[in-house]
A and B are shown apart, each in its own frame.
Chain A
Amino acid sequence: MSNDGQPAQDPLIDETQEEQRRSAAARLFDIRRVIGGLFVAYGIIVTLIGIFDSRAEIDKAEGVRINLWAGLAMLVFGLLMLLWQWLRPAEPPTPNEHQPGA
């Protein structure tokens, strides 16, 4: 697509664009840690429930040890999220003309 000049200007938009310099968005935390943490907690709780499931509970779920499987799956998923964050931490915000001070 052609790139001859800037998009049309508008005072209201320019006003908020100006404020971008003060943006604190770079201080936002990484959501992967929260997802990982919650799912590890769920995984541990549900896996433990699954280990101690009685016959009645297994029968209710059509003979599937669903708590055990679901618990382990959530545990693995949570750990993978944490591992992903650990291996590929969030990129630091790139300095550009909109956020010189950020």
Chain B
Amino acid sequence: MDGDGLRLNMNGLDYLILALYFVTVLGVGFAARRAIRTSVDFFLSGRSLPAWVTGLAFVSANLGALEIIGMAANGAQYGVMTVHYYWIGAVPAMVFLGIVMMPFYYGSKVRSVPEYLRLRFNRPTHLLNALSFAVAQVLIAGVNLYALALVMQALLGWPLWTAIVVGAAIVLAYITIGGLSGAIYNEVLQFFVILAGLIPVTVIGLVKVGGWNGLMDAVADTKLGEAGLHAWQDTGSTANPLGAHWIGIVFGLGFVLSFGYWTTNFAEVQRALSAKNMSAARRTPIIAAYPKLFIPLVTVIPGLVALVTVKGLGAESGDLQYNNAIPLLMRDLLPNGVLGVAVTGLLASFMAGMAANVSGFNTVFTYDIWQAYIRRDRSDEYYLRVGRWATVAAVVIGIGTAFIAAGFSNIMNYIQALFSVFNAPLFATFIIGMFWKRMTALAGFWSLLLGTLVSLSLYLLYKGGVVDFNSDLEESFWGAGLAFATAVVVAAIITPLTSPKRDEELRGLVYGMGGVDLKGDVLAGDAVWYRSPVLLGLIAVALAALFYIPVF
């Protein structure tokens, strides 16, 4: 196939749809500007947003181009087992964040996740986390940019640089001007545009292969075979498409990786901190869990359809790589019109992902690095200006890191590797610190540092060929698990040797110390039973379990 193999036949109306989207996104940024007067308005939307808005933004922030393209790729490569990333690898952690951890985050009025570590432990722990978070965010923003540029180059024939600069410039504009409100409002809009783009591909794909049953029959005849149709059946050993034992899936993916990502990643938690009260903040990740339950329908199913209908999918390089599953289906199945919407949806998903990284970065940079360690006691207006400049810096550095991403075969694995390095030890430190009041500040610091070093070294040893794993994915399970275990052991050893913080310093930060008010700022309408975070959360987890039944 020649170099133009993926090129879509976009016409003027498709471009009109795309242009309308760009104009709307920029308009939202400009319109959000009038609601910004203080730094909290800029970084946390003035803590004023309703739960459905923050909830959809929460799921959208994770729905980057990487997620969509990567999960469709995994669907084609690993089959139905990809649903583990959603049903066990996301929903339980999101519910846990809302029910158990959010009262400490929102109730203590911290302005970021690293700031919680400053209050709970000490400044070195805080600085360590703030710096590693800032680095991770610009790296991931770069990965998002690169993914977008590749897709735009292949689909629209835009040069790599044009795609990178146009995408980056739009994100830059609406966050610098509209702050977090600009980012969150656009994420909500993007959520719907992404779905509007993916649903037609899925529907026509299913029609083409003869519905769900036709798809199942066809997948059984591919190289994945019958194993591609089951999520758990062959997990008693590693002889399944994902190469993962059920213990690895439950503890590696379902516990350490997933809880690490969803509960401590400030790019996500920031959406909940911008909610208008405690009830809305707790419901944010739980409301997000519901769309998350259904997203595999529009990522894994297209992946499987592509596996069945695109001859030769799964090449090492060229147009037939797994990552092109969705673009290939768009090319083959969508007429002009919905094609424009689908391309807009892909672009929207890229922007949602990158905007989350950039808005997380600018907040942590301003509050946790600049205000805490470099320039203290300046006016609020000063920090607002710093935040705007930090946004510009993040986007510019993101363009640079876009080229680091070029060296990895499966973008999703690269991102998993990063998460295992940064998030797993962080989650361990958080969860012990939140529930064990005796844990000392020094123990917090060493847990986090040594945990991070362990998973980073394992990653480097694996990449250097010293340690061997079946797949990148298996490495990230192990890296995350070892980092978690290291953090726990270190906390248990150092805590008895050092002196704990006083009880009043831990109020509102640690379980059982008081200072957490779940009902104080509640609005009249929030007391109704169907807005109870615990009930909504339990239903989400039950649904995730039920969804496994047809694909067991």
Contacts and interface: CB of A to CB of B under 8 A. Distances in A.
A and B bind: yes
Interface of A: 1-8, 10, 12-13, 15-17, 19-20, 22-29, 31, 34-35, 37-39, 41-42, 45-46, 49-50, 53, 57-58, 60-64, 66-67, 70-71, 74, 77, 90-91, 93-94, 96
B24 interface: yes
A96 to B, nearest CB: 7
10 contacts: A3-B520, A6-B515, A13-B110, A19-B380, A20-B40, A23-B41, A25-B35, A46-B341, A70-B200, A70-B338
Which of A1, A39, A77: most chain B CB closer than 10 A? A1
B20 A25 contact: no
Interface size class of B (residues with CB under 8 A): 35 or more
B115 A19 contact: no
Q: Is the interface of B mostly helix, strand, loop or mixed?
A: helix
Given A35-B189, A45-B13, A24 B207 contact: no
Nearest to A17: B109
Interface string B418-440: 00000000000000000000000
Contacts of A67: 335, 337-338
Contact of A5 (B189, B200, B505, B514): B514
A71 to B, nearest CB: 7
B365 interface: no
Contact of B336 (A13, A57, A93): A57
Nearest to B376: A12
B185 A23 contact: no
Given A12-B372, A19-B40, A26-B35, 6 more contacts: A3-B517, A10-B118, A15-B380, A31-B188, A63-B207, A70-B337
Contacts, number: 186
Contacts of B508: 6-8
Nearest to A20: B40
Interface in B100-115: 103, 107-111, 115
Given A7-B509, A42-B17, A66 B36 contact: no
B311 interface: no
B335 A57 contact: yes
B338 A38 contact: no
B112 to A, nearest CB: 10
Interface stretch (B45-53, B166-174, B220-228): B45-53
B269 to A, nearest CB: 16
A5 B439 CA distance: 22
Given A13-B109, A34-B28, A71 B337 contact: yes
Contacts of B13: 45, 49
B189 A8 contact: no
B337 A13 contact: no
A98 B36 CA distance: 17
B196 A31 contact: no
B203 interface: yes
Contacts of B334: 60-61, 66
B518 interface: yes
B321 interface: no
Contact of B515 (A4, A20, A90, A93): A4
Contact of B371 (A12, A25, A45, A66): A12
